[in-house]
């Protein structure tokens, strides 16, 4: 049985880790390199760094941060934000990142998914999808959730898979930062149609929320930010409880 993964997410703005509710009202959560080191010591399986304003402000992702993190941690990490072409991904992977994540750029230029998968291998390509319910439909949103599209989330994710993405990071904007639990209905529905891993994101507030998303939606990994950043959930405690509920995790 493949172990379920626990992934802290570090949203980075101006070199600091930040966290908000429903993608707004950001507050400082610490130094990203220091947090990365702590999480690797605690037993996190992977890390995700998202430069949340890189796309909106037309900046490139932080190469120096990648180098610093690569020196500090020995677990895989993904970096996203402002990746628009092969060259952007190439410099990040060569700086020490294990995977790259694309979001808005993939929607604007779907062929980029094919290009990245062909250049580096699909296992290096994570496509992040920010989804929000609008008039009864789950719609894809861009630029850190600032721009709504008419693209239905389920349709887009199937296209992403067909173009060669190796993994989906699905964030429910309706649940993000609320600590009310993951959107297991949507996650389970989409996961049942996929043959690639899906990472649940948005809504973690308790240890049981992690257990629920693994048991109900059968996702491959669960990602969270503030509950880890502010010490509300410690990864060793989380993994021990998951084991008690017969959920396979790496201790």
Higher-confidence residue of 235 and 82: namely 235
What pLDDT does residue 23 have? 47
Task: Note the pLDDT of residue 86.
Answer: 95
pLDDT value at residue 20: 56
- The lowest-confidence range among 44-53, 102-111, 115-124 is 44-53
Long-range contacts of 73-78 (CB under 8 A, 24+ apart): 73/36, 73/37, 73/39, 73/40, 73/47, 74/40, 75/40, 75/44, 75/45, 75/46, 75/47, 76/45, 76/46, 76/47, 77/36, 77/46, 77/47, 77/48, 77/49, 78/46, 78/47, 78/48, 78/49, 78/126
CA 84/CA 55 separation, integer angstroms: 9
Question: Using CB atoms within 10 A of its CB, is residue 194 exposed (0-12), middle (13-18) or buried (19+)?
Answer: middle
Give the mean model confidence (pLDDT) for residues 181-196: 97
Give the start-to-end residue ranges of the domains of the chain.
Answer: 5-244
pTM of the complete model: 0.92
Taking residues 83-100, report their average pLDDT: 94
Task: List, by residue number, the catalytic residues.
Answer: 11, 130
Q: Which of 180, 162, 182 is nearest to 223 (CA)?
A: 182
pLDDT score at 25: 56
Average pLDDT of the chain, as a whole number = 91
Residue 78 CB partners (closer than 8 Å, separation 6+):
46, 47, 48, 49, 97, 98, 99, 100, 101, 126
CA 183/CA 213 separation, integer angstroms: 8
More confident residue, 178 or 128: 128
Least confident of 45-59, 108-122, 132-146, 189-203: 45-59
Query: For 22-26, 32-36, 113-117, 246-250, which range has the lowest pLDDT when averaged over its residues?
Result: 22-26
| Degrees to nearest 5, angle at CA 229 with 228 and 233 | 25
Q: How far apart are CA 1 and CA 231, in angstroms?
A: 30
Indicate the pLDDT class of residue 58, thresholds 50, 70 and 90. very low
What's residue 24's pLDDT?
53
pLDDT of residue 14: 75
- The more confidently predicted of residues 81 and 216 is 216
3-state class (DSSP) for residue 86: helix
User: Are 235 and 39 contacting, i.e. CB atoms less than 8 angstroms apart?
Assistant: yes
Q: What is the spatial distance between Cα 163 and Cα 111, in angstroms, rounded to a whole number?
A: 8
For domain 5-244, give the CATH number.
Answer: 3.20.20.70
User: What is the reported pLDDT for 178?
Assistant: 86
């Amino acid at each position: 049985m493949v172990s379920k993964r626990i992934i802290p997410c570090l949203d980075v703005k101006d070199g600091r880790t930040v966290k908000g509710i429903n993608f707004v009202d950001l507050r400082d959560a610490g130094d990203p390199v220091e947090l990365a080191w702590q999480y690797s010591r605690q037993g996190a399986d992977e890390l995700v760094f998202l430069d949340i304003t890189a796309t909106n402000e037309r900046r490139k992702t932080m190469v120096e941060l990648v180098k610093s993190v690569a020196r500090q941690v020995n677990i895989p990490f993904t970096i996203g934000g402002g990746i628009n072409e092969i060259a952007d991904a190439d410099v990040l992977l060569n700086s020490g990142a294990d995977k790259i994540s694309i979001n808005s750029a993939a929607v604007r230029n779907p062929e980029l998914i094919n290009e990245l998968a062909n250049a580096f291998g699909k296992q290096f390509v994570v496509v992040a999808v920010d989804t929000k319910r609008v008039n009864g439909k789950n719609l894809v949103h861009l630029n850190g959730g600032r721009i709504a599209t008419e693209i239905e989330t389920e349709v887009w994710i199937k296209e992403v898979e067909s173009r060669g993405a190796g993994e989906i990071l699905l964030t429910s904007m309706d649940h993000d930062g609320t600590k009310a639990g993951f959107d297991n209905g949507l996650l389970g529905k989409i996961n049942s149609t996929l043959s690639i891993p899906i990472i649940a994101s948005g809504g973690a507030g308790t240890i049981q929320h992690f257990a629920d998303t693994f048991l109900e939606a059968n996702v491959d990994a669960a990602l969270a930010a503030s509950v880890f950043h502010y010490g509300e959930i410690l990864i060793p405690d989380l993994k021990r409880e998951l084991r008690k509920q017969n959920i396979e995790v790496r201790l």
